[in-house]
Amino acid sequence: MWGRAARRRCPLGLRRGRKALLALLALLALAGLGSVLRARRGARAAEPGPPRTPRPGRRDPVLPRPPVPSDALGARGEAVRLQLQGEELRLQEESVRVHQINIYLSDRISLHRRLPERWNPLCKEKKYAYDKLPTTSVVIAFYNEAWSTLLRTVYSVLETSPDMLLEEVILVDDYSDREHLKERLANELSGLPKVRLIRANKREGLVRARLLGASAAKGEVLTFLDCHCECHEGWLEPLLERIHEEESAVVCPVIDVIDWNTFEYLGNAGEPQIGGFDWRLVFTWHVVPERERTRMRSPIDVIRSPTMAGGLFAVSKKYFEYLGSYDTGMEVWGGENLEFSFRIWQCGGTLETHPCSHVGHVFPKQAPYSRNKALANSVRAAEVWMDEFKELYYHRNPHARLEPFGDVTERKQLRAKLQCKDFRWFLENVYPELHVPEDRPGFFGMLQNKGLRDYCFDYNPPNENQIVGHQVLLYHCHGMGQNQFFEYTSRNEIRYNTHQPEACIAVDAGMDILIMQLCQETAPENQKFILREDGSLFHVQSNKCVQAEKKAFSDSFIPFLRLCTNSEHQKWFFKEHM
């Protein structure tokens, strides 16, 4: 229906017997070439179909937004900094400790505040054929979420979503044990229109909790949100319009940051970023590449993205089921976003961000719950979708090879059934900006010194968002990859390529310490090293060799440039395993 296997396979939900099949064929005939063939042909616009009966309901939101005094705390998304002391300060700090969000402040901000406009002005000019747009079920899974952030999410959906488009809001309680999420929550939600509460009978984790909501959904489109969001005016229509145009499109809103401490809404009307990943299978953000800007027809056209952040997206319910929904073998959360992103692209769909759909999201100070299952989830994604490129992941995460990840037979069968493309196609066509390491045998792993046999190159910048500018050190070899993983390339670079963007070891003119700089298309002279047969590491520009030395007035060791000798402290070798 949406891929190369369409002519002999349909989603199970469409196989309703002979009468249903005849009805479907008749509908396709009336529509000319319907959404089934549009996906194969790559058409951009919806084909004309039979006239739809005007849908009941209003274009106005489900609920009107009650007025909030302009001087109320954070009423327009501005930052709030309470001057607290004593017991109040203790309570605020305790709320952050428990939730990793300043819930003490959140509880004092209106559940109905209005966010400032943070979208391209062209978005306000868009007109929508509301009667033609599909309806949606908004699914929000939560576990032990704070009262105010959860309710603010619900009210935000109800107060910004057109009544005629919002089928329902489904809250899925993933076996919370906090008292306020029991009878009190049920009573609160019972008075709200179109809101349903589903409770899991045991802790399911994000993936299976979302599937509980999806299985109960009545809308034509599933829209997944996290449980600490606020929706911008006009957020829903662009998502539904795009899915009406192209049923195999999975569409994400622009995710605007809401500060976890001040609840300032940091929306940006400029060009959004797109999702990527590094070879640790960690999600990353990137600017839109020039090739994608060239493809876009206007500044508010959808932007194709290699991956999604995971929490916020809309997808046709039928297409979600056709693609195999979520991998239910994934536990709790972490990694499911990349797995689903790979599957969307490799199996014939598109993953997009719509510049006119903005949703604010509170990014907690740190993950409030354990991510100890994220590694197994990432291994499942690598084993099913990455083909031979999974070795690049394992090289940078040696412990991942030992991680139990369950049975992926069914997921591999799904890939075969849908006739999905290989990962090389994904890298070449969807994410050509990602550098693919060479990882030549004997030239990657720990870069260890012969004179100090327990010491390896080590680079651990204090901030993952500022990967360059810091000094390379020597530290006890640990064999865990990550900050001790380096690759010596055929271009004579020493790449630190577990992260994105990739960094290369360099030496500034007149200096003798090794620092990190961004790798270039053509390696500059100060980034070129020659690993000689005798193990010496020769820096081309300075005509010196890298030597392991004890740092002055310290017990630590540092690699320095020194005149070349035959010292064992100037000899280096790569080692993949401890």
Give the tens place of pLDDT for each residue, 428-452: 999 999 999 999 999 999 999 999 9
Question: Is 71 a member of any domain?
Answer: no
One domain, residues 157 and 279: yes
**Does residue 49 have a pLDDT over 70?**
no
Question: What gap in Å lies between CA 83 and CA 86, rounded to an integer?
Answer: 11
DSSP letter string, 447-470: EEESSSTTEEEE---S-TT--SSP
* Nearest residue to 322 (alpha-carbon basis) of 448, 222, 198: 222
Q: How far apart are CA 221 and CA 243, in angstroms?
A: 8
Q: Do residues 284 and 311 both lie within one domain? A: yes
Residue 340 CB-density burial (10 A; 0-12 exposed, 13-18 middle, 19+ buried): buried
More confident residue, 13 or 233: 233
Residue whose tokens read 């540092």? 558
Residue 117 has pLDDT above 80, yes or no: yes
Mean pLDDT of 20-24: 39
What's the predicted TM-score (pTM) here? 0.87
The predicted-structure confidence for 50-88, as pLDDT tens digits, reads as follows: 444 556 668 999 999 999 999 999 999 999 999 999 999
Predicted local confidence at residue 17, as pLDDT: 42
Same domain, 311 and 401: yes
Give the percent of the chain with pLDDT over 90.
79
Q: Span 13-28, mean pLDDT?
A: 38
165 and 275 share a domain? yes
Closest CA to 368 of 145, 107, 88: 145
Positive or negative CA dihedral for 212, 215, 217, 219? positive
DSSP per residue, 210-251: HHHHHHH--SSEEEEE-SSEEEPTT-HHHHHHHHHH-TTEEE
Instruction: Please give the radius of gyration of the chain, using alpha carbons only, rounded to the nearest integer.
Output: 27
Domains contained in the chain, number: 3
Q: Do both 234 and 327 map to the same domain?
A: yes
User: Are both 540 and 464 inside the same structural domain?
Assistant: yes
**Structural domain contains residue 548:** yes
Q: Is the pLDDT of residue 213 over 60?
A: yes
Domain range for residue 16? Answer: 1-47
Map residue 29 onto helix, strand or coil: helix
pLDDT in tens, 328-339: 998 877 889 999
Is 372 in the same domain as 511?
A: no
Within-domain flag for 96: no
Residues 240 and 355 in one domain: yes
Helix or strand (DSSP H, E) at 190: helix 183-190
- Choose from 210-219, 267-276, 544-553 the range with maximum mean pLDDT: 210-219
HEC assignment per residue over 265-302: EECCCCCCCEEEECCCCCEEEECCCHHHHHHCCCCCCC
Q: What is the CATH number of the domain that holds 329?
A: 3.90.550.10
pLDDT at 311 over 90: no
In this predicted model, what pLDDT tens digit does every residue of 463-483 receive, in sequence order?
Answer: 777 889 999 999 999 988 889
Interatomic CA distance for residues 80 and 419, integer angstroms:
52
Q: Taking 50 as the threshold, does the pLDDT of residue 323 lie above it? A: yes
139 - beta bridge partners? 170, 224
Note the helical H segments in 311-401. Answer: 317-322, 336-346, 374-385, 390-396
Q: Encode pLDDT of 153-191 as tens digits.
A: 999 999 999 999 999 999 999 999 999 999 999 999 999
Q: What is the pLDDT of residue 29?
A: 37
